[in-house]
Amino acid sequence: MLTDNIFYVSEYFRSIQGEGNYAGVNSLFIRFQHCNLKCLWCDTKYTWNKHSGLHILYTQTEIKKVVAENTATHVILTGGEPSLYRLDKLDVQGKKFHVESNGTIIPTHPLNIQMDDGSVFSRGAMDEKVISKYNWVISPKLSNSFQEINEEAIVFWAKNEWCIFKFIAKKGSDLTEINDFIDRYAIERAKVFVGLEGATLESQIKPGLVDEIINFGFHFSPRLHVMLWGNVRRK
């Protein structure tokens, strides 16, 4: 089944971008259903598959209408895993798109993948001229997620200027793992943002760990949505 014009949407809402290189920006979030990973600590498990949460089928025309009619200039495409879909077909003039991806899928390659629930995603390659205008936030999973790394995809992202890398750390050893990861794939340190794991305000106030982030030469990414609202959906 060709899915170039099929988009399963879990929800869309207005908030601020909570983390990364555009933290604090007033944005429209579009959260897609389905993910090719199953991280134990995932905070959006309701997007994992066709059974995990309510979602609605949209066409590209319907999504572009939502984007065009919303007054937010910035549009965050998140999930789930948004690169399962033809994101290049959603471009709307005057809007700045951001994509939050786990970094296991190369968007400029055709995709044909069957999910654990039997769903098949078969899309064409995305147009690099379009998606290179987007701000891609790539979040490779550390060993504590028990997920495999797609080395070919990480090499692809490491050489592209239109993405940053965002990691989540809980302790100092996570920072060492991040450091080894970026050295292995020759990722520019200036492209690395590190946030703190947790869903409470207290979990985000760890000055000692932030000192270590600074010493490694990484950017610190405050998780503003967690600090303000905790583990609240649609924020």
Tens of pLDDT, residue by residue over 116-128, are 999 999 999 999 9
- Distance from C-alpha of 231 to C-alpha of 234, rounded to nearest angstrom: 10
Phi, then psi, of 203 in degrees rounded to 5: -65, -20
**How many CB atoms sit inside 10 A of residue 180's CB?**
10
Say what percent of the chain tops pLDDT 90: 90
Sort strands 26-32 and 74-78 into parallel, antiparallel or unpaired. Answer: parallel
pLDDT band for position 2 (cuts 50, 70, 90): confident
DSSP H or E run through 122: strand 120-123
pLDDT tens digits, residue range 133-183? 999 999 998 887 778 889 999 999 999 999 999 999 999 999 999 999 999
Q: What is the pLDDT of residues 54-70, one digit of tens each?
A: 999 999 999 999 999 99
The Cα 27–Cα 97 span in angstroms is: 10
Position 113 scores a pLDDT of 95
Provide the 3-class DSSP secondary structure of residue 99.
strand
Neighbours of 119 (CB within 10 A): 17
- Across the chain, which distance is largest between two alpha carbons, in Å? 51
**What is the per-residue pLDDT for 224?**
95
The model's pTM: 0.96
What architecture (CATH level 2) is domain 7-229? Alpha-Beta Barrel (3.20)
Tell me what pLDDT residue 231 has.
87
- pLDDT for residue 154: 96
pLDDT of residue 1: 61
Tokens of 123: 């899309």
In the three-class reduction of DSSP (H, G, I as helix; E, B as strand; rest coil), residue 224 is classed as helix
* Side-chain-side CA neighbours of residue 228 (13 Å): 14
Nearest to 194 by CA among 162, 165, 153: 165
Measured between alpha carbons, how far is residue 104 from residues 20, 81, 83, 144 in Å? 19, 9, 9, 16
> How far, in Å, are 43, 97, 115, 163 from residue 168 at the CA level?
13, 22, 25, 17
Residue closest to 7 by CA, chosen among 102, 123, 144: 123
Quickly tell me which residue has 């995990």 as its tokens. 52
How far apart are alpha carbons 124 and 127 in whole angstroms? 9
77-115 tens-digit pLDDT: 999 999 999 999 999 999 999 999 999 999 999 999 999
Least confident range from 22-26, 201-205, 229-233: namely: 229-233
